[in-house]
Structure 1
Amino acid sequence: MIRAFFDPFLWFDMLCPPILNKGDKVALVAPGGAVDEIKIRFAKEVIIGKGFEPVCGDHLLGRSNYFSGTDEERASDLQKALDDPEIKAVFMARGGYGITRIIDRLDFTAFLRNPKWLCGFSDITALLNHHPEVVSVHGPMPTTFSKDRNSTDQLFDFLMGKDLDYTVRENRYNKKGSVIAPLVGGNLTLVCHCLGSASEIDMDGKILFVEEIGEALYAIDRLMVQLKRAGKLANLAGIIVGQFSAVRDSQIPFGKDAYGIIRSHVEEYGYPCLFGFPAGHDTENLPLPISGLVSLDVRESENSRVSACFGNGI
């Protein structure tokens, strides 16, 4: 039996941006770290090949120490993309660090009046979840378009109105169950970083997605403890665990791998847990709709399924 963890009457208040049509303009902005010009050149070719017109932010290829520009410059580029009615989607060029330095400078009035797709992952987690009433996309960014063609194709297919339907290989850490609920989350560090801020994520009744890169096992445990102590794990509808890439142990072994750590912190709860979803910092990074309604069907000894219909009709 599939449980539904949402109020269907409240769900109609959700804003799903319109599908992309051939010829639409899409923006490329760099709200965080500086970007590689060669990767941007490739991304523009991909976008043009899909039938869209790329519009580059003024400081897309800029540099201010670590960042692609000063806080003012990066915020200005993103603000212009949010406000321009001709821009139908905004692709964040890369993650790294920087979005939370500028997010409180942004005015989302025009964006909320005429929502458009915000696309990215990693550091961009904070932006994707900042206005949960608008569906956004956790998925490939322009600087990662070249890593996996299938993930990039799936991203554009979804933006053009195609449903998402994934079969996920069995994993020994899975906890079976089925649920339909809105999806939230992204990078685990950013999910925790947003606690206590205007970007804190409401996780009650939601499916939480998490992925991570480059963290020590004890640090992953600490992040999960933080979520638990903040009351964020007890009332989830489910959890989807993506890639935990380049994870390292300390000199004295922690005793559990990343998935084992996460499973131990959600063990006491009855909701379904899916491990090994192919999204994050590895080669494959399948798109997921943040704030979109997702159907999660987890099996323990066979393949599981994750699906989402465009416009959220499950």
Structure 2
Amino acid sequence: MPPPLRRGDRVRFVSPASPPDKDLILRHAEMLKSWGLNVDFGEHAFCKQDYLAGTDEERLADFNAALRDPEVRAIFATRGGKGSYRIADRLDFAAVRRDPKFLIGFSDITMLHLSLWKHCRQVGIHGALFVNEGEQDVSVETSSSLRRALMTSEDIVIRSRPEEPTSALTTEGAVTGRLIGGNLDMVATAAGWALPDLRGAILLLEAVNMYRGQVDRQLTMLRKAGHLNGLAGVAIGQFTRFEFDRRFSVIDILREHLDALGVPVLGGLPLGHGPSPSSVPIGAVAVLDAKAGALMVRRGGV
């Protein structure tokens, strides 16, 4: 678990996946500066090569340079999108072990979180200064959640929101385990090479803009290949841009697969691509209490 950030610490934006909106990132940088942080940018942070933020070598070089720089105390991914999976096995894991620092990101960045946990047991932050589609500014809930996760040593409590469609998946029971996972597409992509052993873990899943059949195929593969054997529980975040009013919706598909696991499930968590998402340490010890509708991450639990 990296130490909390303090005023005066340097943080760096890098682009390991798709190219970002430069104006948006510059506004995010100003917000971080208002928190007392010093902000800089990777050399290729605003490069573009089609759907990637530069070549694999450029994106990898920026990320590894931030890992190796002792002045950089946290690394912000400018965005997700596509491409982190192309470099996730080539990170400087030795530098991570020497000098742990938070990586902040989600969506495609889930791949980097998985790889860093698998190789280094590195705790990261599943979250970002995320702006909802059609809005200009980061919500107060999202910014305050990220600041709390980064700049305090408090336990983090994420409560289920009844208005989130996945809240219908909540069962009963309470379990403790490492919170591992994130974006379903990346968890499935990591299977067999970057996915850590999930036995005893609480698996976090969120998704955006997928067909029902894609969700079904990915969960089928993960279950039948044994990757979900021995899970302690499942935390379900936001499933965004799905048609929930269908007769056989993604909620029904999720329920079929999750029921087969026979573990406590907590849905409705504001983690992902939906309205005002929260940030949560990923890789840390968490307590999932389905009855209480809360996921608590212990900051001291490493």
TM-score in terms of structure 1 length: 0.87
Q: Is the 8 A contact 2:159 2:269 kept in 1?
A: no
Unaligned 5+ segments in structure 2 are none
Aligned partner of 1:187 in structure 2 is 183
Question: 2:42 and 2:140 mapped to 1: Cα distance?
Answer: 24
Compared CA separation, residues 122 and 196, structure 1 to 2 (3 A):
same
Aligned partner of 1:13 in structure 2 is none
Aligned partner of 1:278 in structure 2 is 270
Question: Tell me, what secondary structure is at the counterpart of 1:310?
Answer: coil
Aligned equivalent of 1:230, options 221, 225, 230: 225
Question: 1:241 and 1:275 mapped to 2: Cα distance?
Answer: 4
Task: State the Cα distance separating 1:255 from its structure 2 match.
Answer: 4.7
Task: State the Cα distance separating 1:22 from its structure 2 match.
Answer: 0.5
Question: 1:173 and 1:291 mapped to 2: Cα distance?
Answer: 23
Whichever residue aligns with residue 136 of structure 1, its letter is G
CA RMSD of aligned residues (A): 1.9
**Structure 1 runs of 4+ off > 3 angstroms?**
141-147, 169-172
Aligned partner of 1:135 in structure 2 is 123
> Where do 1:282-293 residues align within 5 Å?
282-293=274-285
Question: 1:37 and 1:149 mapped to 2: Cα distance?
Answer: 22
Compared CA separation, residues 229 and 254, structure 1 to 2 (3 A):
farther
1:264 partnered with 2:260: no
Task: State the Cα distance separating 1:123 from its structure 2 match.
Answer: 0.3
Aligned partner of 1:6 in structure 2 is none
> Identity of aligned pairs, percent?
35
Whichever residue aligns with residue 77 of structure 1, its letter is D
Whichever residue aligns with residue 29 of structure 2, its letter is K
Whichever residue aligns with residue 280 of structure 1, its letter is G
Q: Which moved more, 1:167-176 or 1:83-92?
A: 167-176
Aligned partner of 2:26 in structure 1 is 41
The superposition leaves residues 218-272 of structure 1 with CA deviations (integer Å, 9 ceiling, x where unpaired) of 11111110111111233110001111111259xxx98522222111112133321
Aligned equivalent of 1:221, options 216, 222, 228: 216
TM-score in terms of structure 2 length: 0.91
Aligned equivalent of 1:177, options 149, 173, 180: 173
Compared CA separation, residues 260 and 36, structure 1 to 2 (3 A):
same
Q: Is the 8 A contact 1:39 1:142 kept in 2?
A: no
Task: State the Cα distance separating 1:51 from its structure 2 match.
Answer: 0.6
Question: Tell me, what secondary structure is at the counterpart of 1:223?
Answer: helix
Question: 2:6 and 2:78 mapped to 1: Cα distance?
Answer: 21
Question: 1:143 and 1:287 mapped to 2: Cα distance?
Answer: 13
Q: Is the 8 A contact 1:30 1:60 kept in 2?
A: yes
Question: 1:191 and 1:21 mapped to 2: Cα distance?
Answer: 32
Question: Tell me, what secondary structure is at the counterpart of 1:172?
Answer: helix
Unaligned 5+ segments in structure 1 are 1-15
Aligned partner of 2:201 in structure 1 is 206
Aligned partner of 1:108 in structure 2 is 93
1:154 partnered with 2:145: yes
Question: 2:85 and 2:289 mapped to 1: Cα distance?
Answer: 33
